[in-house]
Amino acid sequence: MAAPPERRCWEREQARLKAGVVEQDTEEWQKDPNFTGLERVGGVDLSYIKGDDTSACASLVVLSYPALQVLYEDCRMVAVTAPYVAGFLAFREVPFLVEAVQRLQQEEPKLRPQVLLVDGNGLLHHRGFGVACHLGVLTDLPCIGVAKNLLQVDGLARDELHREQIRSLQRSGDTFPLTGTSGRVLGMGACWVLDLSFLNAQVLRSYNNSSKPLYISVGHRVSLDTAVRLVRSCCRYRVPEPIRQADIRSREYIRKQLCAPLEVRPARPESSKKEAELEDESDA
């Protein structure tokens, strides 16, 4: 099958923007062990109506830090026109997220997030430029990619070695590097035993026994170590709270807009099993 005509143009644009990615900490709060000075953490998400790949809700939330209380919410229905092509999800969705950040800057500049958590990958990507990198470069905000499924790239695979790495996550804070065959560390796998004492014992056991890691990667203007530490500090459940709240609120917004309990689903359109194995940038 011939590649979509957009692909070559998108590849050139990715290469151009990738040159602007900064893989180091750039903010003073990032260098502090307790993130002193960090007050606002943002999360973004797109949710689609099941069966409709063109109508979606783009959501941006800003939470206080470290309390993780919602300070700002922007949910808008958007018309998605760019086709879904594995590895190029950003061209389909990032423009709407950039617009949301720009609206916030115009309407509530004091609430501009100091960092964005993105449901997807950053440097952990076929061409080293995932959604978190794309959004970070275009907004010039520190960005972190947080995925729930391993993107199989540069030799990374869901094989026995990977399963053994997951089984090795015994203690809260344990991590393992996602090292490609190129020798480069593309991200970090992490799984934490969370402080969920406010839940009943049965639910608490189910969380503590969870063996599903998150896959954290650098997006822009943040180091991998800082990204891992920040994501951990934002987790009340498996998914960090900024992303979790953006997802919840985008889904609820769709339900209210359509005045019916319609089923909504994650941002990525339905694709073949093979595509899903190749591209896990936007599993929610």
User: What is the pLDDT at residue 49?
Assistant: 87
- Please list the ranges in the chain whose pLDDT falls under 50: 1-2, 195-209, 262, 269-284
**pLDDT tens string 89-113:** 999 999 999 999 999 999 999 999 9
User: What is the pLDDT at residue 76?
Assistant: 96
Distance between CA atoms of 45 and 244, rounded to whole angstroms? 9
User: What is the pLDDT at residue 3?
Assistant: 58
Spell out the domains of the chain, with CATH numbers in brackets. 5-150+214-253 (3.30.2170.10)
List the structure tokens of 158.
């869901």
User: What is the pLDDT at residue 1?
Assistant: 45
Residue among 150, 95, 146, 98 nearest 118 (CA): 146
User: What is the pLDDT at residue 260?
Assistant: 55
User: What is the pLDDT at residue 50?
Assistant: 82
List the structure tokens of 224.
């991998």
Give the burial string for 11-48 (b: 16+ CB within 10 Å, else e).
eebbeebbeebbeebebebbeeeebeebbbbbbbbbbb
Under 8 Å between Cβ of 203 and 196: yes
Please give the full DSSP string across the chain, using - where no structure is assigned: -PPPTHHHHHHHHHHHHHTT---S--SGGGGSTT-TT--EEEEEEEEEETT-SSEEEEEEEEEETTT--EEEEEEEEEE--SPP-TT-HHHHHHHHHHHHHHHHHHH-GGG--SEEEEES-SSSSTTS--HHHHHHHHHT--EEEEESS----TT--SSHHHHHHHHT--STT-EEEEE-TTS-EEEEEE------TTS-HHHHHHHHT----EEEEEEES--HHHHHHHHHHT-SSSS-HHHHHHHHHHHHHHHHHHTS---EE-SSPP--HHHHHH--TT--
User: What is the pLDDT at residue 257?
Assistant: 84
